């Protein structure tokens, strides 16, 4: 009747809480056999009703570790474990936004001064000092410096640009970047090494980029190269440059 009203299979399956294949099967039987096709050919199994209690069981079981050495539940595995259909499990998961196959990572900071450092960093981002520049600085190390052995074949109609498989290695490079939180400008520099001397040299580039005598606040992580002798010597010569370190394991 719902199909006769012009509804789609997806709309009908959502309305009566069944699979799209179930709707398709009965639609085909009616089309081929008319009224006779609507009679069940066997008694079959009585459909399980999703009660609040059963929904709670599915949610509780989802939070427990699966059996049999598996690391995460699948709809079929949990359905077999609870003796319900995998589609019912899928509906409950979809309703509550559960995706057991996905994981996210986190890192907890054990820095005893976490709150103090976090407040300092957040304050620089949200309420920076007037007439001062704030930079967020970081490095990307071990970037492979590759050079293609074969010429690059240019883009052509119906064909993407193509690169050869073989290449020459030229060691690795480190990329330094400083993001000006006010203007959005990024200062970048590459270096063959990743030492405190290179970091101090990059701080010099930041100073040169700004007007003489301007207060500069640099946000950086707790890498040892950021706290070494060359850096402290640089800060002693440039008293208007201030380093702010993020809490440990929080960059």
CATH number for the domain spanning 208: value is 3.30.420.10
One domain for residues 209 and 119: yes
Whether 214 maps to a domain, the answer reads yes
Task: Please report, for the chain, how many H helices and E strands are present, in that order.
Answer: 8, 5
What Rg do the C-alpha atoms of the chain give, in angstroms? 31
34, pLDDT greater than 70 = no
One domain for residues 220 and 180: yes
pTM: 0.65
How far does CA 66 lie from the centroid of its chain? 25
2, pLDDT greater than 70 = no
pLDDT digits (tens, 9 = 90+) for 48-61: 788 999 999 999 99
Whether 75 maps to a domain, the answer reads yes
Whether 108 maps to a domain, the answer reads no
One domain for residues 227 and 139: yes
Whether 3 maps to a domain, the answer reads no
Whether 107 maps to a domain, the answer reads no
Asked if 196 and 229 count as a contact pair (C-beta separation under 8 A), the reply is yes
One domain for residues 143 and 232: yes
One domain for residues 86 and 119: no
Domain count of the chain?
2
Q: What is the pLDDT of residue 44?
A: 56
pLDDT digits (tens, 9 = 90+) for 201-212: 999 999 999 999
Q: For all residues of the chain together, what is the average pLDDT?
A: 87
User: Confidence class of residue 13 from pLDDT cuts 50, 70 and 90?
Assistant: low
One domain for residues 238 and 118: yes
Asked if 48 and 79 count as a contact pair (C-beta separation under 8 A), the reply is no
**Rounded mean pLDDT of 113-121?**
94
User: Strands 186-191 and 132-148, how do they pair?
Assistant: unpaired
d(CA 41, CA 61): 35
Contacts of 229 (CB under 8 A, 6+ apart): 196
Contacts of 88 (CB under 8 A, 6+ apart): 48, 50, 54, 58, 79
One domain for residues 88 and 122: no
Domain span including residue 42:
9-96
- Closest to 215 measured CA to CA, from 143, 139, 154, 124: 124
**Rounded mean pLDDT of 5-17?**
68
């Amino acid at each position: 009747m719902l199909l006769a009203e012009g509804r789609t299979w997806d709309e009908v399956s959502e309305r009566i809480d069944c699979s799209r294949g179930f709707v398709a099967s009965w639609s085909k039987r009616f089309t081929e056999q008319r009224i006779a096709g609507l009679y069940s050919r066997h008694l079959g199994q009585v459909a399980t009703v999703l009660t609040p209690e059963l929904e709670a069981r599915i949610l509780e079981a989802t939070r427990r570790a699966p059996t049999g050495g598996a690391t995460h539940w699948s709809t079929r595995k949990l359905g077999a474990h609870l003796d319900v259909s995998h589609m019912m499990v899928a509906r409950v998961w979809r309703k509550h936004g559960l995706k057991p196959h996905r994981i996210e990572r986190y890192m907890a900071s054990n820095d005893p001064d976490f709150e103090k450092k976090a407040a300092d960093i957040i304050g620089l981002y949200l309420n920076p000092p007037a007439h001062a520049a704030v930079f967020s600085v970081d490095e990307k190390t071990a970037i492979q410096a590759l050079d293609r052995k074969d010429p690059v074949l240019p883009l052509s109609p119906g064909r993407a640009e193509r690169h050869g498989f073989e290449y020459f290695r030229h060691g690795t490079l480190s990329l330094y970047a400083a993001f000006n939180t006010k203007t959005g400008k990024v200062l970048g520099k590459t270096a063959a090494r990743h030492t405190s001397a290179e970091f101090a040299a990059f701080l010099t580039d930041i100073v040169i980029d700004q007007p003489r005598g301007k207060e500069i606040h640099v946000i950086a992580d707790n890498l040892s190269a950021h706290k070494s002798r060359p850096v402290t010597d640089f800060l002693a010569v440039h008293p208007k440059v201030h380093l702010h370190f993020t809490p440990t394991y929080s960059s």
